[in-house]
């Protein structure tokens, strides 16, 4: 499971699902949380079934906020004491814009139901999926195969459109 799928899994299966997300992040990116908020957050995370995966993600990445039952400062202190480094988080993940509600969930079901396409390309994130609309219907395909088909079509079109000798150009 890649990080994009993990984050989706955590969001859908965590005790925090449906909670006010502002509660989990420090105001104005400050590094301190109020004691009251910490008590509430620890209670929410206490019996969460995906808490270990959430904590693992937060320890591997330098994310702000409350993840896996820990605050940013607690994770930073633990990393420093144990000589661990966190990789920065990249939010450059491609997620297409959808026209109707439920289409993003349909895309994730498509991704989760496959590990590769019929040609063997890996499908494990939205970056690997081509979204196509056909007559008010949404369809998904392997982005790598779609690119290859587009290149082949362009080559054929270029070969057919060669100008005859002696033209005006």
Domain locations in the chain? 3-82, 103-160
Closest to 11 in 3D by CA, of 97, 121, 105: 105
User: CA-based Rg of the chain, rounded to a whole angstrom?
Assistant: 23
Q: Give me the tens of pLDDT residue by residue for the chain, a chain 169 residues long.
A: 677 778 888 888 999 988 887 888 866 545 556 677 788 899 999 999 999 999 999 999 888 888 999 988 899 999 999 999 988 776 555 666 777 888 888 888 888 888 888 888 888 877 788 888 877 788 888 888 877 776 666 676 666 655 555 443 3
For residue 149, count other CB atoms closer than 10 A to its CB.
13
Residue pair 57/68 in contact (Cβ under 8 Å)? The answer is yes
User: How far is residue 85 CA from its own chain's centroid?
Assistant: 22
* Ranges of H-type helices in 83-135: 103-112
Q: Please name every residue paired with 116 in a beta bridge, in sequence order, or none if there are none.
A: 122
What pTM, to 2 d.p., does this model score?
A: 0.54
Beta strands in 44-149 (DSSP E): 129-134, 137-142
């Amino acid at each position: 499971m890649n990080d994009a799928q993990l984050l989706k899994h955590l969001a859908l299966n965590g005790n925090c699902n449906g909670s006010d997300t502002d509660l989990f992040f420090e105001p104005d990116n400050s590094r301190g949380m109020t004691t009251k908020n910490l008590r509430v957050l620890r209670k929410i995370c206490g019996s969460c079934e995906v808490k270990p995966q959430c904590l693992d993600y937060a320890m591997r990445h330098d994310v702000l906020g409350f993840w896996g039952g820990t605050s940013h400062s607690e994770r930073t202190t633990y990393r420093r004491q144990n000589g661990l480094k966190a990789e920065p988080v990249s939010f450059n993940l491609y997620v297409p814009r959808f026209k109707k509600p439920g289409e993003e969930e349909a895309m994730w079901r498509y991704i989760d139901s496959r590990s590769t396409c019929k040609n063997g390309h890996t499908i494990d994130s939205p970056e690997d999926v081509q979204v196509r609309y056909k007559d008010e219907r949404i369809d998904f395909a392997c982005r790598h195969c779609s690119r290859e088909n587009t290149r082949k079509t362009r080559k054929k079109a270029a070969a057919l459109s060669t100008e005859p000798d002696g033209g005006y150009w």
